[in-house]
């Protein structure tokens, strides 16, 4: 089959086939993608039901205070059933609100991505969200803030600079909570001395160096990890540990100069970390690490050295301008040439199937299906995020679960969709002849639509 | 050789030390085609509610109305003079009576704080620190097996959406989940496979792998039918039970097959009992489901049960005292269970720390006295034939000084 660049524009650089998009992309596939980069605001989610981080902080504190008071009262009078009921009610209220927040965030995010007419920008969001991965399998304040993190720390920067995103993501409460920085105490800080602390918690510092910036072979030492961890002390995010809800707590910040990668940073509390991160963001090792991962995630596990080289050059020349990085990718012939080699992750298949059919998926169903297809929403297996190898998610019974999901959409949520007409709108003349024949021979509308949604352009790019 | 005593002495390490002296089983490891499955209970199982130290003089007072009842609908089952099993687990009690189950009490991982997720990391990765995700203890154990062994050659089976940390590091792990969504028709699958054969080799192979796995674990229809029968037999019928029973039955089937998996993984949720820890409410029901899953597993393994070891572990125990909402909070020491036809069971192993105020860990928790890794090392040594150095350096790094507990396996 001849190389269909309009398909590549929609799949490798988009969210999958969509009615009418093939025709729109066919005239100039590259411009179809690049002109989306002129609309950075398209990534922003504005939904009055979703809270700012300040709003969440206030609300969380209110529940914590109520619960603390109820617990204290109940402890004083353990026999008092009414007080015990009050305690349970405050816990229930907090849990209910937490569930509601998670559902609203998942719903808004899915709806935004499904409706987007800048699918490439949404792919950038998914890439960077995963670069700064956090998981709901963590303490509960992470669950309150993980949706907010994507909205406030990732989306505003996908076509901005890497340095801004790095700072926003590293100091977002969700990250500070997920990787334990909220309880990291500087040994020589006021509280550290009082409590005899001997070392800061290194988790976040290590992941920033290994996963987010320089990469595992980026040339840093254990000493750099400790110094960065020291600089990070005090950054707590304002969800636990202080009644003032301070984001930065001077009393636990390690005082003094810090030396990271041979450069010394003067001591002035909350501005020290941003200066270190700014240098990490433009470090040559960061350029290599990010360029390599970007090319591998979008193109294949073995991107051409020329493509990676071009990405590294752009990153270094522009000091980490992510719009320039994205345009370099899309402008490079080696990003278009290889045959489809990457599996579409399950969540993105759910997005693609919904975009193609216009199905209205209830959020609980979406969540259940994502779990079944092995990509539980907001729950990657580690700080390294979801795997992005070419064949990720195709193991085990993953593909069979996709078939079940596709059939559920065809049978329950897209009852009015005519498969033949949809296939025409998706592929036009460029339809694969085998798919064409399979649709013609299908025994039912449900089966035809299932086959269409399971066809390779929805699963490989 | 002394015959092993069927009980241990409370408040003292004497019996425990005696156990260490029992010589290793004579059967050459590897010749019996061993099966091994590990079940992780997430949330932190209250070890004192599952296996109660009825012989401890402080137990009845400290648990008060939550002490396991000796009679009535939820009457506990005596395991020895000193311990009793929660009455919601008749199948497990039966295995114990046959000498096919043992309990290790006051056990714990190397972790001593109280975060679920960090504690689960440590339970699964088998190192001493959380947030290490490269490999898990069981994955490393598999990777240390001789390449010609069936354990190394066959895919490990995990009833999970993605490879659990416990199994990371193993060469091949297949993941499977009980009936996530109603299954598409077989005809649709066949047509799809034909389409992939012509259009996309990678998708065709992924589909064939999935079908092969389903053949091994049982199709969703078969699993459903098996679960229905198990549930009818046991008289239970709630939704959550069906799911974990399905997972257990599938794992059993996958491991019973001659060409199937030799190592399996399951995890169950719902043990974080901060409140309403009554025997007829949350914890009781959760233990009942676990018991049903054990029965389903036993049944699905069939004759292979005789070559099987199952461990059931949790990330930490819970506070000894009941909290203000009739539950317990995150604690330390808890109980671990070892089951299987080849287990040298019918006993409770414990270097019992005691429940008196001064004996508690940090004044609140059951003091951990047995390192869970010593239990697992003992099983891996006797069941997989892994040597001590491998276990102490690579499977559980930096535990050379921690002796495997011997004699757990027949």
* CB distance B256 to B301 below 8 Å: yes
Chain B CB contacts of A434 under 8 Å are: 195, 198-199
* CB distance B98 to B367 below 8 Å: no
Chain A CB contacts of B131 under 8 Å are: 179-180, 203, 383
- Cα B395 to chain centroid distance, Å, stands at 18
- CB contacts under 8 A, A 338-367 vs B, are 340, 343
The distance of A107 to chain B (nearest Cα, Å) reads 20
- CB contacts under 8 A, A 404-443 vs B, are 404-408, 432, 434-435, 438, 441-443
Among all chains, which residue has been given the structure tokens 């699905």? B300
Chain B CB contacts of A381 under 8 Å are: 133, 162-163, 165
* CB distance A57 to A238 below 8 Å: yes
The distance of A164 to chain B (nearest Cα, Å) reads 26
- Contacts of the segment A410-414: beta carbons below 8 A, 24+ positions apart: A410/A445, A410/A446, A410/A447, A410/A449, A410/A450, A410/A453, A411/A446, A413/A357, A413/A359, A413/A360, A413/A361, A413/A365, A414/A357, A414/A358, A414/A359, A414/A449
The distance of B100 to chain A (nearest Cα, Å) reads 32
3-class secondary structure, A421: helix
Element containing residue A263 per DSSP (H, E): strand A263-265
Q: How far apart are CA B104 and CA B123, in angstroms?
A: 16
Interchain CB contacts (distance < 8 Å): A and B = 144
The distance of A433 to chain B (nearest Cα, Å) reads 9
Is B180 within 8 Å of A404 when comparing Cβ atoms?
yes
Closest among B254, B257, B238, B270 to B44, alpha carbons compared: B270
Closest among B57, B90, B53, B56 to B68, alpha carbons compared: B53
DSSP one-letter code for A326: H
- Pick A404's closest partner by Cβ from B183, B191, B209: B183
Closest among B339, B295, B335, B293 to B316, alpha carbons compared: B335
User: Which of A379, A396, A407 to substitute to test the interface with B, most B CBs within 10 Å?
Assistant: A396
* CB distance B338 to B102 below 8 Å: yes
Q: How far apart are CA B367 and CA B198, in angstroms?
A: 62
Q: Could you tell me the two tokens for A7?
A: 């398909």
pLDDT tens string for chain B (410 positions)?
Answer: 333 332 333 333 333 333 333 333 333 444 489 999 999 999 999 999 999 999 999 999 999 989 999 998 889 999 999 999 999 999 999 999 999 999 999 999 999 988 888 899 999 999 998 878 889 999 999 999 999 999 999 889 998 877 899 999 998 888 887 766 888 888 999 999 999 999 999 999 999 988 888 877 776 667 666 666 666 665 555 556 777 888 899 899 999 988 889 999 999 988 988 877 877 678 998 999 999 999 999 999 999 999 999 999 999 999 999 886 788 989 999 999 999 999 999 999 999 999 999 999 999 999 999 999 999 999 999 999 999 999 999 999 999 999 999 999 99
Beta bridge partners of B313: B40
pTM: 0.81
The distance of B161 to chain A (nearest Cα, Å) reads 4
3-class secondary structure, B170: strand
Element containing residue A112 per DSSP (H, E): helix A81-115
């Amino acid at each position: 089959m001849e190389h269909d660049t309009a398909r590549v524009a929609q799949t490798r650089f988009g969210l999958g086939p969509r009615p009418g998009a093939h025709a729109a992309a066919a005239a100039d596939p590259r411009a179809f993608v690049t002109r989306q980069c002129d609309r950075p605001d398209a990534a922003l989610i504005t939904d009055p039901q979703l809270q700012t981080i300040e709003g969440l902080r206030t609300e969380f504190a209110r529940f914590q205070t109520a619960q603390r008071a109820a617990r204290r009262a109940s402890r004083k009078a353990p026999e008092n059933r009414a007080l015990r009921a009050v305690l349970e009610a405050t816990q229930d209220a907090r849990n209910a609100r937490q569930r509601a927040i998670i559902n609203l965030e998942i719903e808004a995010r899915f709806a935004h991505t499904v409706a987007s007419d800048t699918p490439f920008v949404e792919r950038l969001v998914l890439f960077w969200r995963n670069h700064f991965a956090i998981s709901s399998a963590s303490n509960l304040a992470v669950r309150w803030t993980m949706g907010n993190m994507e909205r406030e720390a990732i989306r505003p920067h996908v076509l901005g600079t890497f340095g801004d995103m790095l700072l926003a993501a590293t100091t977002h409460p969700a990250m500070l909570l997920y990787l334990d920085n909220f309880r990291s105490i500087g040994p020589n800080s006021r509280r550290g001395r009082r409590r005899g602390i001997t070392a800061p918690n290194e988790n976040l510092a290590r992941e920033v160096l290994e996963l987010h910036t320089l990469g595992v072979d980026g040339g840093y030492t254990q000493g750099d990890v400790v110094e960065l961890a020291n600089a990070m002390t005090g950054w707590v995010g304002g969800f636990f540990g202080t009644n003032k809800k301070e984001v930065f707590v001077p009393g636990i910040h390690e005082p003094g100069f810090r030396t990271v990668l041979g450069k010394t940073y003067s001591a002035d509390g909350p501005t020290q970390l941003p200066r270190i991160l700014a240098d990490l963001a433009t470090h040559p090792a960061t350029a290599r690490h990010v360029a390599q991962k970007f090319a591998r995630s979008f193109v294949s596990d073995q991107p051409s050295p020329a493509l990676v080289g071009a990405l590294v050059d752009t990153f270094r020349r522009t000091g980490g301008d992510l719009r320039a990085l994205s345009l370099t990718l899309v402008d490079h012939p080696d990003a278009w040439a290889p045959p489809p080699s990457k599996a579409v992750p399950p969540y993105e298949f759910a997005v693609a199937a919904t975009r193609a059919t216009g199905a209205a998926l209830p959020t609980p169903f979406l969540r259940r299906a994502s779990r079944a297809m092995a990509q539980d929403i907001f729950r990657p297996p580690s700080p390294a995020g979801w795997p992005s190898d070419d064949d990720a998610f195709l193991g085990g019974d993953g593909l069979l679960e996709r078939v079940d999901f596709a059939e559920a959409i065809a049978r329950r949520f897209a009852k009015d969709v005519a498969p033949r007409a949809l296939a025409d709108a998706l592929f036009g003349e460029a339809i694969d002849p085998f798919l064409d024949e399979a649709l013609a021979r299908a025994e039912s509308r449900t089966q035809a639509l299932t086959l269409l949604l399971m066809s390779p352009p929805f699963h490989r790019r | 050789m002394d015959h092993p005593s069927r009980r241990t002495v409370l408040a003292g390490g004497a019996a425990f030390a005696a156990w260490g002296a029992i010589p290793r089983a004579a059967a050459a490891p590897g010749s019996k085609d061993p099966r091994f499955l590990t079940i992780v209970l997430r949330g932190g199982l209250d070890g004192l509610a599952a296996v109660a130290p009825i012989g401890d003089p402080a137990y009845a007072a400290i648990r008060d109305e939550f002490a396991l009842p000796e009679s009535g609908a939820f009457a506990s089952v005596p395991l020895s003079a000193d311990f009793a099993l929660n009455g919601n687990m008749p199948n497990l009690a039966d295995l114990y009576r046959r000498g096919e189950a043992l309990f290790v009490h006051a056990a714990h991982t190397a972790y001593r704080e109280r975060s679920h997720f960090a504690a689960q990391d440590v339970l699964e990765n088998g190192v001493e620190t959380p947030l290490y995700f490269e490999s898990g203890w069981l994955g490393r154990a598999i990777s240390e097996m001789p390449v010609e062994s069936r354990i190394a050659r066959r895919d490990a089976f995990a009833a999970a959406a993605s490879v659990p940390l416990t199994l990371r590091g193993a060469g091949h792990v297949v993941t499977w989940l009980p009936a996530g969504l109603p299954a598409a028709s077989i005809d649709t699958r066949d047509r799809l496979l034909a389409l992939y054969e012509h259009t996309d080799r990678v998708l065709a192979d992924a589909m064939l792998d999935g079908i092969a796995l389903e053949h091994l674990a049982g199709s969703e229809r078969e699993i459903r039918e098996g679960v229905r029968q198990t549930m009818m037999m046991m008289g239970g019928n709630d939704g959550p039970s069906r799911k974990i029973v399905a997972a257990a039955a599938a794992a059993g089937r996958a491991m019973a097959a001659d060409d199937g998996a030799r190592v399996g993984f399951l995890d169950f949720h719902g043990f974080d009992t901060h409140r309403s820890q009554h025997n007829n409410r949350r914890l009781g029901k959760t233990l009942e489901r676990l018991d049903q899953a054990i029965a389903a597993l036993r049944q699905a393994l069939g004759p292979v049960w005789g070559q099987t070891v199952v461990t059931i572990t949790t990330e930490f125990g819970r506070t000894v005292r009941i909290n203000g909402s009739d539950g317990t909070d995150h604690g330390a020491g808890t109980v671990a269970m070892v089951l299987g036809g080849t287990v040298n069971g019918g006993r409770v192993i414990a270097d019992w720390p005691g429940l008196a105020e001064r004996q508690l860990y940090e004044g609140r928790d059951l003091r951990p006295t047995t390192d869970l890794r010593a239990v697992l090392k003992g099983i891996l040594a006797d069941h997989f034939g892994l040597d001590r150095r491998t276990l102490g350096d690579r499977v559980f790094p930096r535990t050379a000084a921690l002796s495997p507990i011997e004699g757990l396996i027949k």
